[in-house]
Structure 1
Amino acid sequence: MNLFDLSLQLSGFPIKKAEKVLNGIQKLSEIDFESYVEKKKKDIVDYHLSNNTFYKSFFKEADLSDWDSIPVMTKGDFQIPLKQRLSGAYNLKNVYINKTSGSSGNPFTFAKDYDCHALTWAIIKNRFGWNNLDFNSSKQARFYGIPLDKKGYYKERFKDVLSRRYRFSIFDLSNAAFENYLKKFKSTKFDYLNGYTSTMVQFAKFLDRQNIILKQICPTLKVCIVTSEMLFDDDKLLIEKKFGIPVINEYGASELDLIAFQNPENEWQVNSETLYVEILDSNNRVLPLGEEGRIVITSLYNQAHPFIRYDIGDIGILSKTSTIKKPILKKLMGRTSDIAILPSGKQAAGLTFYYITKSIIEDDGQVKEFIIQQLKLDTFKVIYVSTENLSKLKTEQVTKEMTRYLEPNLTILFERRDRLERSKSGKLKQFSSYIERN
């Protein structure tokens, strides 16, 4: 019995219809696909101009025939009540409603119409199918957060049952907790792991300390799918080595869809079926393929709520090999809100600090995990979890590398803790800036 599909249908999300629509889109030739995308772009703008007062007032003087003139929307534009942003045919009772994680600093509630949300699940099922995974039959080891209020908690647990998922707690990453992880893997025929990158990395480090290969105690495992947090090359190698299975990288946003997924050719293939993805410069001009810029996305099917040329807050590059039907995300550099401004006025991606520091302080296995905070223009703090304080040699190496890669006269502070604070969802924010910006 296909419990997962049935649960979607009973919740009002027509998954079979959505899968049929998706299949038709994927069968289009490259030429026909380009026409399809152009039509869907025009249709979704037309729809919201005709049916959405919020978007009509936002659109103002733009020229519908000139896509580049259509305004870019940001998270800040959605900081008004949801009911004021819905299209005419929709209300709070006939749409799917959820909240963004707030990792960008601008959380908001959003909506999707039921057909659009069904297409989201059709895309996810399709991409997981690239690895021979089926939500109706494959058993998932789930490494996600869970609401702590009683209603939210039991709702997620019920969804886990319908989706053949077992959810591991990610709020306790102690050795004792990981020992309990192992017991479950020994007794359960899991097909795959899915969840936050940082938790997978910590579990892999535990397995490394114990000299254990996960697949040897759970032979049914096929693949590990990581999401929501940056995946560094050395972390990917560690997970693959200690889990004994391939690692697949996923990139998505709850308010939109699955954005990119690692395909069988090891490319980060962008979802072009239900989204239109652009890379823009600081003046909202479209950049040529291969150039770094802001990731701006249009949801082609969401009639309940406009996400048209929506700046998701991430920085990335589309490969020069990209086509309209098969765009490839060459690189994802993190969030635009994770930019550090240095005393000289120079700007650097916050993950630069994380990457520089990571290569130094994790090489002896003492440091379990760490984050970077910018406290002042010239002051950064490295907060880390370790069995002992970092040596003077390590702290001097980090400071020296910060100077070499960035600029001199930076103050680098170090603080050891027993554990790191995570968001309510369980995500770990690797870099945070506490500098007020104009």
Structure 2
Amino acid sequence: MRLFDFSLKINGFDIDEAKSILSKIQALENAEFNSYVDTKKKEIIAFHLQHNSFYESFGKTANFNDWSSVPIMTKRHLQQPLDQRLSDAYSSKNVYVNKTSGSSGDPFIFAKDKKCHALTWAVIMNRFSWFNIDFNVSKQARFYGIPLDKKGHFKERLKDWFSNRYRFSVFDLSDTAFENALEKFKTSRFEYINGYTSSIVQFAKYLKRNNIVLKNICSSLGVCIVTSEMLFDDDKSMLETQFGVPVINEYGASELDLIAFQNKNNEWQLNSETLYIEILDKNDNVLPYGEEGRVVITSLYNKAHPFIRYDIGDIGILSEKSTVRKPILKKLIGRTNDVAILPSGKKAAGLTFYYITKSVIEDNGNVSEFIIEQTALDHFIIKYVSRETLSSNKKERIVKAMKRYLEPGITISFDRVNRLNRLKSGKLKQFTSHIN
């Protein structure tokens, strides 16, 4: 029995219909595909202008024949009661309702109509099938957060059972927890790993310290798919070495869909079937391929709730090789709210100097993970977990590196902790500014 498909169907998500719709979209010729995208953009705006009072008020300037007239929507626009944002004939009882993780600093409750949510799953299943993963039969080792309250905990465990997956908690990243995880890998025929980047990296570091290649003890393992957090090149290389399988990068947003998925040509292929994705400058102008800007996304199928020209809060670049049918994400730089503002007025992407510091702080394996917080224009704190306190020489090297790439006159302090605080979802926020 195809339990995963069955679990979607009993919850009102017609996955068979969704797969059929997706197949028809993917079968379109290039010219037909371009026409399909234009038609869906006009249809979704026209629908919400007519049937959604929130969007009718928000999108007063919108003309579905002039895409540039459509206003940009942000998370802050959506931080009001859900029932005020739902379209006619939709209520919390006949839609899929969830809450964003809050990793952007602006959490909110959102909704999708059931057809839209079924299409989300159809796209996800399609992408995973590129690497021979079938959600109905392939066993998943899942590194995700889990609610701690009894009801939420039971619900997630039940979903795990229907989804043929075993969940490893990301809230305990101790060696003891990883020893137990390793035992589970020895006795289970896991076909793939899926979960938050930072926790999977920590598991790989444990394997490296113990000179273990996971594929050697779990021969059924075929691929590792990481999501929700940045994957750096050196971490990807380590994961592939310690797991003995390819590592695939996924980019998504719970309120939207799967946004991008690494294909077999090592390209980060964007979802063009159910989303329309643009890169805009600070004045909301569409940028040419190859230029850096804000990632703005339109959900082409969500009639319950508008996500039209929605600024997701990320900065990215589309490859020059992109087409309407096959857009390629060349680079995902970070979140717009993860920006450091320096005393001179200069701005720097937080993940840029996180990466600079990472190359120094992790070179001998002492530090297992760390985060950076900006507490003042000229002051940063590096909080880290390690076996031994950082030496004075190592701290001095880190300070010099940060001053060289940022600017002189800043100060850096170090705070060794037993564990880093994660978001409720289990994600690790690698850089936070407390002054923006």
TM-score norm. by structure 1 comes to 0.99
Alpha-carbon distance, 1:185 to partner: 0.2
Q: 1:305-344 counterparts in 2 under 5 A?
A: 305-344=305-344
Contact kept? 1:279, 1:286, Cα under 8 Å: yes
Cross-structure match for 1:200: 200
Cross-structure match for 2:385: 385
Where has structure 1 moved over 4 Å in runs of 4 or more? none
Contact kept? 1:125, 1:134, Cα under 8 Å: yes
Alpha-carbon distance, 1:61 to partner: 2.5
Structure 2 Cα separation of the partners of residues 221 and 9 of structure 1: 29
Cross-structure match for 2:368: 368
Cross-structure match for 1:38: 38
Letter in 2 for 1:73: M
Contact kept? 2:100, 2:254, Cα under 8 Å: yes
**Is 1:275 aligned to residue 275 of structure 2?**
yes
Contact kept? 1:353, 1:372, Cα under 8 Å: no
Contact kept? 2:61, 2:71, Cα under 8 Å: no
Structure 2 Cα separation of the partners of residues 294 and 61 of structure 1: 21
Provide structure 2 residue ranges, at least 5 long, that are not aligned to the other structure. Answer: none
Letter in 2 for 1:171: F
Cross-structure match for 1:104: 104
Contact kept? 1:194, 1:225, Cα under 8 Å: yes
Alpha-carbon distance, 1:23 to partner: 0.1
**1:126 is paired with a residue of what secondary structure?**
helix
Contact kept? 1:85, 1:305, Cα under 8 Å: yes
**1:337 is paired with a residue of what secondary structure?**
coil
Cross-structure match for 2:354: 354
Deviates more, 1:37-46 or 1:59-68: 59-68
Structure 1 Cα separation of the partners of residues 204 and 59 of structure 2: 48
Structure 1 Cα separation of the partners of residues 61 and 193 of structure 2: 48
Deviates more, 1:161-170 or 1:62-71: 62-71
Superposed CA offset, 1:76-102 (max 9, x none): 000110000000010110000000001
How many corresponding residue pairs?
Answer: 436
Deviates more, 1:402-411 or 1:240-249: 402-411
Cross-structure match for 1:136: 136
Cross-structure match for 1:174: 174
Cross-structure match for 2:12: 12
Q: 1:237-252 counterparts in 2 under 5 A?
A: 237-252=237-252
Q: 1:139-218 counterparts in 2 under 5 A?
A: 139-218=139-218
**1:404 is paired with a residue of what secondary structure?**
helix
Contact kept? 2:120, 2:257, Cα under 8 Å: yes
Identity of aligned residues (%): 68
Alpha-carbon distance, 1:377 to partner: 0.3
Alpha-carbon distance, 1:64 to partner: 2.6
Structure 2 Cα separation of the partners of residues 303 and 48 of structure 1: 7
Cross-structure match for 1:95: 95
Structure 2 Cα separation of the partners of residues 12 and 221 of structure 1: 32
**1:7 is paired with a residue of what secondary structure?**
helix
Superposed CA offset, 1:113-159 (max 9, x none): 00000000000000000000000000000000011111111111001
TM-score norm. by structure 2 comes to 0.99
Cross-structure match for 1:84: 84
Superposed CA offset, 1:260-285 (max 9, x none): 00001110000000000000000100
Structure 2 Cα separation of the partners of residues 64 and 256 of structure 1: 21
Alpha-carbon distance, 1:388 to partner: 1.4
Provide structure 1 residue ranges, at least 5 long, that are not aligned to the other structure. Answer: none
